[in-house]
């Protein structure tokens, strides 16, 4: 079959290596192996599963340099940020290894005439459709609790993550997981439908675009498969007041440029009170203009890196140009380099509220800044979104920030921090950002059968 899996370096758009899409017969063998592995993996003790997860964490830690280099070439992430991503992977696998047994323990239920518990029983084969922006972390977020719960995993990763996805399978195998417990697939989009129509596949977790989520959810729904979706976001980042505009701008900029702006939880709508708006914008422009293009494999301070692909950079460039046509002001940046995926960090104001651009997600290094005159206006602007993933509210008056944050309609909201991180913190959104929760105690419940187990009293 034709190849759609490749390593294509976004620094220069060079295709380094290609991989063939698997055949229908190979897919059938993979599903069969995963289903057969489930029959034994589900009976493996929690202690043994935890031992495998701890070994996975150890192997990721030991191989971090190589793993970071792989994704630097695949999707342009600097090796510094790649190493930080490995930290998250290690934390997630360790968290579920340490806490899996207690999170999966039977929960007693008060009842009469007998005894009852709520059990957490594994479902079977679970499909993961994962994105390119955090090639290891996104998979860990899905796979660690799913495997700990006793399920087996089929991974369909992004087409540009062909090497990193295969390395994940190799590491999980090296950690002691039996063949079929975790399988990387070079599957086509049509193969996703095949898997969701297969009775042996019990559910799907997708992290990606809203469009991809709608397509997969429709197929999963038609086949009555459990679905978890983590989709896009236009996260509000509200600054109600500040004692130091420059420091507030520095914090906001660092958040926006993380992973070159390619994160669902980036601060995509920066909402600032009008009394500090002009100074804040000027500081953001000043910071943006100090950044220069850098090499992901050899990162230095004050650099930005290519987007994941030339296509992604061209899409972002079109979005910014459309916003300007609709009336926005591009203060700096917004230059697409020739023959690569570098896009200079941009600062944009004046995107008309209610316009097409206003509702779009800019998946890249573009700071959209909006002035507001009141808390009420900030809340209205923040909630006037088709998405509802994360967000943050800042104020020197914590009670004021909490009051505003309490009215923001998102799955995650933060006060006086851009975003809290930790394997113990559930992650997910509402509205078009999807449904279900990953990480923390909730994450391990997504792909289990919450089974009522009742034993009658002896008469």
347 vs 351: CA distance, rounded Å: 11
Task: Decide if pLDDT at 1 tops 50.
Answer: no
- CB atoms near residue 373 (< 10 Å): 11
Q: What is the share, in percent, of the chain residues with pLDDT greater than 90?
A: 99
For domain 5-232+433-456, is the CATH number 3.40.605.10?
A: yes
Report the residue count for the chain: 459
255 vs 419: CA distance, rounded Å: 9
DSSP 137-189: HHHHHHHHHHHHTT-EEEEE--TT-HHHHHHHHHHHHHTTPPTTSEEEE---H
Quick one: pLDDT band at residue 2, thresholds 50, 70, 90?
Answer: very low
Domains 5-232+433-456 and 236-386+390-422 fall in the same CATH topology: no
Phi-psi region of 341 (alpha: psi -120 to 50; beta: other; left: phi over 0): alpha
pLDDT value of residue 198: 98
161 vs 212: CA distance, rounded Å: 17
Task: Decide if pLDDT at 459 tops 90.
Answer: no
57 vs 51: CA distance, rounded Å: 10
Q: Give the three-state DSSP class for 203.
A: strand
Question: Under 8 Å CB-to-CB from 436, ≥6 apart: which residues?
Answer: 205, 227, 228, 229, 230, 428, 446
Task: Decide if pLDDT at 44 tops 60.
Answer: yes
Tokens of 291: 């950044």
For domain 236-386+390-422, is the CATH number 3.40.309.10?
A: yes
Q: pLDDT tens, 385-411?
A: 999 999 999 999 999 999 999 999 999
Give which of 329, 372, 319 is closest to 350, Cα–Cα.
329
pLDDT value of residue 4: 85
359 vs 362: CA distance, rounded Å: 9
DSSP 261: G
131 vs 85: CA distance, rounded Å: 14
pLDDT value of residue 74: 97
Q: Give the active site residues.
A: 230, 264
State mean pLDDT over 308-314. 97
Give which of 387, 249, 269 is closest to 328, Cα–Cα.
269
Q: Where exactly are the structural domains of the chain?
A: 5-232+433-456, 236-386+390-422
- Environment class of residue 112 by beta-carbon count within 10 Å: exposed (0-12), middle (13-18) or buried (19+)? exposed
DSSP 447: T
State mean pLDDT over 257-279. 98
State mean pLDDT over 442-453. 98
Question: Which pTM was predicted?
Answer: 0.97
56 vs 350: CA distance, rounded Å: 47
For the chain, the average pLDDT equals 97
Q: Note every long-range contact of 314-319, with CB atoms under 8 Å and residues 24 or more positions apart, other chains counting.
A: 315/363, 316/343, 316/362, 316/363, 316/364, 316/366, 317/343, 319/357, 319/360, 319/362, 319/366
Give which of 98, 100, 83, 101 is closest to 137, Cα–Cα.
83
CA max distance for the chain: 82
Tokens of 310: 């030339």
Q: Give the three-state DSSP class for 374.
A: coil
Question: Under 8 Å CB-to-CB from 280, ≥6 apart: which residues?
Answer: 239, 245, 248, 249, 272, 369
pLDDT value of residue 99: 98
Give which of 375, 379, 377, 330 is closest to 351, Cα–Cα.
330
- CA dihedral (281, 307, 236, 80) in degrees, to 10, reads -90
Q: pLDDT tens, 174-229?
A: 999 999 999 999 999 999 999 999 999 999 999 999 999 999 999 999 999 999 99
Quick one: pLDDT band at residue 319, thresholds 50, 70, 90?
Answer: very high
DSSP 315-336: HHHHHHHHHHHTT-EEEE---B
Tokens of 54: 């701890």
Phi, psi of 407 (to 5 degrees): -110, 5
State mean pLDDT over 237-243. 98
102 vs 444: CA distance, rounded Å: 11
């Amino acid at each position: 079959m034709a190849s759609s899996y490749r390593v294509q370096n976004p620094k220069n758009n060079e295709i380094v290596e290609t991989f063939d899409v698997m055949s229908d017969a190979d897919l059938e063998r993979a599903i069969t192996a995963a289903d057969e592995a489930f029959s034994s993996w589900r009976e493996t003790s929690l202690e043994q599963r935890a031992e495998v997860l701890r070994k996975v964490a150890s192997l990721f830690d030991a191989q971090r340099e190589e793993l970071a280099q792989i994704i630097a070439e695949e999707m342009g992430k600097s090796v510094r940020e790649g190493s930080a991503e490995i930290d998250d992977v290690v934390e997630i696998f360790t968290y579920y290894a340490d806490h899996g047994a207690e999170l999966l323990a039977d929960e007693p239920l008060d009842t009469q005439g007998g005894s009852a518990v709520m059990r957490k029983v594994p479902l079977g084969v679970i499909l993961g459709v994962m994105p390119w922006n955090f090639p290891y972390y996104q998979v860990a977020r899905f796979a660690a609790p799913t495997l700990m719960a006793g399920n087996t995993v089929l991974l369909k990763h992004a087409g540009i993550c062909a090497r990193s996805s295969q390395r994940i399978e190799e590491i999980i195998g090296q950690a002691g997981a039996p063949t079929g417990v975790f399988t990387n697939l070079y599957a086509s989009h049509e193969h996703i439908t095949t898997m969701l129509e297969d009775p042996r596949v019990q559910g799907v977790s997708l992290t990606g675009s809203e469009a991809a989520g709608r397509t997969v959810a429709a197929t999963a729904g038609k086949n009555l498969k459990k679905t978890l979706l983590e989709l896009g976001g236009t996260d509000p980042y509200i600054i109600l007041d500040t004692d130091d505009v420059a420091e507030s701008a520095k914090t906001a900029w660092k958040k926006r440029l993380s992973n070159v702006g390619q994160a669902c939880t980036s601060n995509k709508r920066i909402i600032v009170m009008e009394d500090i708006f002009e100074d804040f914008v000027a500081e953001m422009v000043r910071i943006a203009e100090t950044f220069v293009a850098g090499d992901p494999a050899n990162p230095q301070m004050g650099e930005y890196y290519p987007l994941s692909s030339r296509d992604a950079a061209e899409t972002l460039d079109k979005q910014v140009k459309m916003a300007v046509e609709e009336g926005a002001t591009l203060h700096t940046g917004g230059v697409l380099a020739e023959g690569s995926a570098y896009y200079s960090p941009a600062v944009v104001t004046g995107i008309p509220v209610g316009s097409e651009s206003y509702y779009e997600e800019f998946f890249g290094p573009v700071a959209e800044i909006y002035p507001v005159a009141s808390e009420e206006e900030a809340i209205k602007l923040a909630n006037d979104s088709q998405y509802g993933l994360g967000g943050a509210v800042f104020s020197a008056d914590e009670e004021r920030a909490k009051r505003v944050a309490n009215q923001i309609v998102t799955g995650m909201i933060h006060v006086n921090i851009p975003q809290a991180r930790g394997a113990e913190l559930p992650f997910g959104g509402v509205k078009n950002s999807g449904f279900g929760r990953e990480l923390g105690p909730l994450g391990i419940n997504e792909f289990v059968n919450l089974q009522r187990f009742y034993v009658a009293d002896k008469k």
